[in-house]
DNA sequence: CTGAAAGCGCTTACAG
DNA sequence: CTGAAAGCGCTTACAG
């Protein structure tokens, strides 16, 4: 350790760096000064090796069809997560999802890097490696992913409430023939929204017409386009459609426009997420806002508490909000 | 090391893990088998401590006003970079840009984590810490950032060519009154595009009207909106505008629409980057595509070579391409 | 072909 | 209040 320029032992320096109390104020000041001058930062690997703590959080894009930096929703919660984790003193390490050169599932890789905890971003077709991690002693927080392990927790929006807000809005505007565009059946989130949607429709005493429920391969724009095409092909469109993501909604709008259909005059649309793009489309997209910032901050704090044994895991559900723009009009009161 | 279940020494196991040749095939097989069974992965921190190599690449969002995961252009090159780095055997670590709890500039933090190299994403208002890193012996690759250090290099699109393609397209469509929307004067990239734009306009023998050159605070949508407002306020609009980013262009379009102006009939627009959103707007945005995937892959390979001393730094410039959609029409031949 | 030993830069009981 | 020593889990000369 370079800091023996101060003429003290390594142990003493170590104690100072770690804010132990049993050091004389005098030597403490002297050492601190030298540290300041040299811009010294202890080697992370040595520290990690000695303590088994790395101040590193692993981030994992789970699922075979996984989300990446390109995903407008998750990327925003990740952004907020990263910031919050930064002020808590952690850096992030992103695991490459390609098969690691030296092999190794997520769990071994967590050990390998001694990460203090992980955040796992939901994707499609979950691999077993995620389960293994979930069940391990490594603290994990799922985003839109219901982790059940002892040292795990998760955050997500209240998906049932999302759907009921959509239905309520449609209902109040006079729409009675409601359709739905979701993702595949192996998407838990899509299923939840669909289920909630159906419940809400029935709750309002309207009829559920299964023909108007279609599904893409994922949550992206082309899937929305394809799903809408399918609906248009079948003829007899619903008056209003809830798309389980904004991107899906944008795809649907593109298909509608290509067929000369107007939004909202012919078909009203509500998306979900409130990504940036909603504001720039025409018509501007009415949607359900997921509080991405809050999801990220919450995930960070939960993970922090888990790491420091101040909590037992569990979940946090955040409140969604309807954002009214132009894609539903305001007809019929 | 757990693997002494094999009845050999740590040294031997180490040699096997590192593919040294001087090990008998027999013991090698035996050890490999045990490794396979236990799913053993060596501790990264111990290895790093011993070798000074971490197989970690630091990613830095540079500048006080820095880009983050939310930026549609950089995020795509990062995505491609991450994938490529993954197959090369590296994981990524993201430095929190908030002041690190224990202090430390980028250089110390690189030492701290023993990163093998860094990728630095351009932002606005570069801090000195970046220069320090650039000049250090740590391999660095800048994205849209001209690093000059001995162990540094950078990738970017050919910004002059970007501008000349824009002008050529405008010219061929008959537009003669050309405007420009850029970012602040401290953005090197914006300046390059503006400079190239002016040169190209003059090259085609057209007049440069400075009144039609305006600037926002950054490359984001609201800046484009504000800049366009300014132009509209001033009256006497140009016939065609080149915006230095797609987001800037989208903002400009929004302002134009609010004033009842039509695109491209009243004003034609070309953006830059070719982000996803270009396809979903109306009109769909004509733009210059930056090959984000290639930029990322190139950055990864250059960094790899720098790390392995197979190159001396330098730069790579990638070819941009015009993508014609709807925001320029095709009038006047 | 194999292993004992030193070293990487820290932390943590433990003496003094 | 301070320091010597062992240990964290690897790698790398160096002997054998």
- Give the pLDDT confidence score for residue B280 in this predicted structure: 83
CA distance A199 to A165: 12
State the pLDDT confidence band at A128, using cuts at 50, 70 and 90: confident
Cβ burial, residue B78 (10 Å; 0-12/13-18/19+): buried
Q: Higher pLDDT residue, B23 or B230?
A: B230
CA distance B36 to B303: 31
What sign does the dihedral A114-A118-A123-A125 (CA atoms) show?
positive
Residues paired with residue A270 on neighbouring β-strands, in sequence order: A242, A286
Digit-coded pLDDT (tens) for A253-285: 999 999 999 999 999 999 999 998 898 888 999
- Residue found by looking up tokens 């996984």 in the block: A66
With a cut of 90, say whether residue B201 has pLDDT above it. Answer: yes
A172 in a structural domain? yes
B231 in a structural domain? yes
**Concatenated DSSP letters for A102-127?**
T---HHHHHHHHT-SEEEEE--BS--
Token pair recorded at residue A199: 């419940």
Q: Where are the alpha helices (DSSP H) in chain A?
A: 10-17, 25-38, 44-51, 72-87, 106-113, 128-135, 159-172, 188-203, 221-234, 246-258, 292-307
What is the distance in angstroms between the Cα of A202 and the nearest Cα belonging to chain B? 34
- Give the pLDDT confidence score for residue B296 in this predicted structure: 96
CA distance A145 to B201: 53
A152 and A296 both lie in a single domain = yes
State the pLDDT confidence band at A161, using cuts at 50, 70 and 90: very high
CATH number at residue B252: 3.40.50.2300
Average pLDDT, whole number, for chain B? 89
With a cut of 50, say whether residue A333 has pLDDT above it. Answer: no
Residue A1 beta carbon within 7 A of nucleic strand C = yes
CA distance A149 to A131: 9
- Give the pLDDT confidence score for residue B3 in this predicted structure: 61
pLDDT average, residue stretch B64-72? 74
Interface probe, candidates A40, A71, A112, A278, chain B, greatest B C-beta count within 10 A: A112
With a cut of 50, say whether residue B333 has pLDDT above it. Answer: no
Share of chain A above pLDDT 90, in %: 59
Contacts of B83 in chain A (CB under 8 A): 96, 98
State the pLDDT confidence band at B102, using cuts at 50, 70 and 90: very low
Token pair recorded at residue B179: 């405007």
With a cut of 90, say whether residue B238 has pLDDT above it. Answer: yes
A169 and A287 both lie in a single domain = yes
CB contact under 8 A, B82 and A96: yes
Query: Distance, angstroms, CA B34 to C1' C10?
Result: 31
Q: List the single residue in A42, A95, A108 with the smallest CB-CB distance to B41.
A: A108
With a cut of 60, say whether residue B230 has pLDDT above it. Answer: yes
> Helix B106-113 to helix A44-51 angle, to the nearest 10 degrees?
50
Task: Please tell me which residue of chain A has the smallest CA distance to B253.
Answer: A280
- Give the pLDDT confidence score for residue A295 in this predicted structure: 97
- Give the pLDDT confidence score for residue A225 in this predicted structure: 96
- Give the pLDDT confidence score for residue B2 in this predicted structure: 60
State the pLDDT confidence band at A13, using cuts at 50, 70 and 90: confident
B139 and B61 both lie in a single domain = yes
Contacts of A93 in chain B (CB under 8 A): 56, 91-94
What is the distance in angstroms between the Cα of A160 and the nearest Cα belonging to chain B? 27
A283 and A165 both lie in a single domain = yes
Share of chain B above pLDDT 90, in %: 59
B273 in a structural domain? yes
pLDDT average, residue stretch A131-140? 91
B166 and B126 both lie in a single domain = no
Q: β-strands B213-215, B91-94: how paired? A: unpaired
What is the distance in angstroms between the Cα of B332 and the nearest Cα belonging to chain A? 26
CA distance A251 to A255: 6
Interface probe, candidates B40, B44, B93, chain A, greatest A C-beta count within 10 A: B44
Contacts of A282 in chain B (CB under 8 A): 257, 281-282
What is the distance in angstroms between the Cα of B107 and the nearest Cα belonging to chain A? 10
Strand order in the sheet with A213-215: A213-215, A178-182, A240-243, A268-273, A286-289, A321-323
As a dihedral over the C-alpha atoms of residue A171, residue A173, residue A174, residue A180, rounded to 10 degrees, the angle is: -50
- Give the pLDDT confidence score for residue B65 in this predicted structure: 65
| Most confident segment among A38-52, A301-315, B27-41, B294-308 | B294-308
Token pair recorded at residue A82: 């990263």
Q: List the single residue in B49, B87, B104 with the smallest CB-CB distance to A98.
A: B87
State the pLDDT confidence band at A94, using cuts at 50, 70 and 90: confident
B147 and B84 both lie in a single domain = yes
Residue whose C-alpha is closest to residue A151's, from A120, A128, A126, A117:
A117
Average pLDDT, whole number, for chain A? 89
With a cut of 50, say whether residue B133 has pLDDT above it. Answer: yes
Q: Where are the alpha helices (DSSP H) in chain B?
A: 10-17, 25-38, 44-51, 72-87, 106-113, 128-135, 159-172, 188-203, 221-234, 246-258, 292-307
Q: Which of A18-32, A169-183, B169-183, B234-248 has the lowest mean pLDDT?
A: A18-32
A100 and A223 both lie in a single domain = no
B329 in a structural domain? no
Digit-coded pLDDT (tens) for B240-293: 999 999 999 999 999 999 999 999 999 999 999 999 888 888 899 999 999 999
Residues paired with residue A93 on neighbouring β-strands, in sequence order: A58, B93
Task: Please tell me which residue of chain B has the smallest CA distance to A109.
Answer: B41
Contacts of A277 in chain B (CB under 8 A): 277, 280
B144 and B226 both lie in a single domain = no
A201 and A94 both lie in a single domain = no
What is the distance in angstroms between the Cα of A204 and the nearest Cα belonging to chain B? 34
B301 in a structural domain? yes
With a cut of 50, say whether residue B101 has pLDDT above it. Answer: no
Strand order in the sheet with B91-94: A314-318, A152-157, A140-143, A117-121, A56-61, A91-94, B91-94, B56-61, B117-121, B140-143, B152-157, B314-318
- Give the pLDDT confidence score for residue B316 in this predicted structure: 93
With a cut of 60, say whether residue A331 has pLDDT above it. Answer: no
Q: Radius of gyration of chain B from Cα atoms?
A: 25
Are A249 and A259 in contact, with CB atoms under 8 Å apart? no
A258 in a structural domain? yes
CB contact under 8 A, B114 and A40: no
Nucleotides of D under 7 A from a protein CB: 1-5, 7-13
Are B328 and B270 in contact, with CB atoms under 8 Å apart? yes
CATH number at residue B22: 1.10.260.40
A323 in a structural domain? no
Residue B49 beta carbon within 7 A of nucleic strand D = yes
Are A154 and A146 in contact, with CB atoms under 8 Å apart? yes
> Helix B221-234 to helix B246-258 angle, to the nearest 10 degrees?
50
Task: Name the closest residue (CA) to the C1' of nucleotide D9.
Answer: B46
Cβ burial, residue A130 (10 Å; 0-12/13-18/19+): buried
State the pLDDT confidence band at B1, using cuts at 50, 70 and 90: low
Token pair recorded at residue A185: 């059946």
Contacts of B97 in chain A (CB under 8 A): 86
Residue B11 beta carbon within 7 A of nucleic strand C = yes
Residue whose C-alpha is closest to residue B332's, from B177, B160, B165:
B177
State the pLDDT confidence band at B332, using cuts at 50, 70 and 90: very low
State the pLDDT confidence band at A104, using cuts at 50, 70 and 90: low
B9 and B123 both lie in a single domain = no
> pTM for the complete prediction?
0.88
Number of domains within chain A:
3
B17 and B113 both lie in a single domain = no
Digit-coded pLDDT (tens) for A40-76: 878 888 889 888 888 899 998 887 666 677 788 999 9
CA distance B165 to B197: 9
With a cut of 60, say whether residue A162 has pLDDT above it. Answer: yes
Q: Higher pLDDT residue, A220 or A98?
A: A220
Q: Higher pLDDT residue, A23 or A284?
A: A284
B252 in a structural domain? yes
Count CB neighbours of A118 within 10 A: 28
B286, containing H or E segment: strand B286-289
Digit-coded pLDDT (tens) for B134-183: 999 899 999 999 999 999 999 999 999 999 999 999 999 999 999 999 99
What sign does the dihedral A234-A240-A241-A247 (CA atoms) show?
positive
Q: For residue B14, what are the domain limits?
A: 2-42
Q: List the single residue in A79, A97, A104 with the smallest CB-CB distance to B69.
A: A79
pLDDT average, residue stretch A305-328? 91
Digit-coded pLDDT (tens) for B25-41: 888 888 888 887 787 87
Torsions phi, psi for B66 (to 5 deg): -100, 160
With a cut of 90, say whether residue A240 has pLDDT above it. Answer: yes
With a cut of 80, say whether residue A96 has pLDDT above it. Answer: no
CA distance B187 to B62: 13
Residue whose C-alpha is closest to residue A298's, from A102, A88, A130:
A88
Alpha-carbon distances of A180 from A250, A262, A325, rounded to whole Å: 14, 18, 19
Contacts of A95 in chain B (CB under 8 A): 91
- Give the pLDDT confidence score for residue B66 in this predicted structure: 66
B196 and B278 both lie in a single domain = yes
């Amino acid at each position: 350790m370079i800091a023996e320029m101060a003429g003290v032992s390594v142990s003493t320096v170590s104690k100072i760096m770690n804010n132990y109390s049993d050091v004389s104020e005098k030597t403490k000041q002297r050492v601190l000064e030298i540290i300041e001058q040299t811009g010294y930062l202890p080697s992370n690997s040595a520290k990690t090796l000695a303590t088994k703590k790395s101040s590193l959080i692993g981030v994992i894009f789970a699922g075979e069809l996984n989300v990446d930096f390109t995903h407008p929703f998750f990327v925003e919660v990740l952004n907020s997560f990263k910031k919050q984790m930064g002020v808590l003193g952690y850096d992030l390490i992103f695991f490459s999802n390609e098969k690691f050169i030296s092999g190794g599932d997520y769990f071994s890789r967590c050990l390998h890097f001694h990460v203090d905890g992980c955040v796992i971003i939901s994707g499609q077709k979950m691999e077993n490696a995620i389960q293994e991690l979930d069940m391990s002693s490594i603290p994990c927080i799922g985003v839109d992913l219901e982790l059940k392990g002892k040292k795990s927790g998760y955050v997500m929006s209240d998906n049932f409430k999302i759907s009921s807000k959509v239905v309520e809005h449609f209902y109040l505007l006079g729409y009675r023939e409601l359709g739905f565009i979701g993702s595949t059946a192996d998407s838990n989130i899509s299923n939840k929204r669909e289920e909630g949607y159906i419940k809400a429709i029935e709750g309002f005493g309207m009829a559920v017409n299964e023909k108007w429920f279609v599904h893409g391969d994922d949550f992206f724009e082309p899937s929305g386009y394809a799903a809408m095409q399918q609906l248009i092909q079948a003829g007899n469109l619903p008056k209003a459609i809830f798309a389980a993501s904004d991107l899906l909604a944008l795809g649907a709008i593109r298909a509608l426009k290509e067929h000369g259909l107007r939004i909202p005059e012919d078909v009203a649309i509500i998306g979900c997420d409130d990504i940036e793009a909603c504001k720039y489309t025409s018509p501007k997209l009415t949607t359900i806002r997921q509080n991405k910032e809050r999801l990220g901050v919450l995930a960070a704090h939960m993970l922090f508490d888990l790491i420091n044994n101040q909590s037992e895991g569990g979940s946090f559900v955040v409140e969604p909000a309807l954002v009214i723009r132009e894609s539903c009009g305001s007809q019929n009161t």
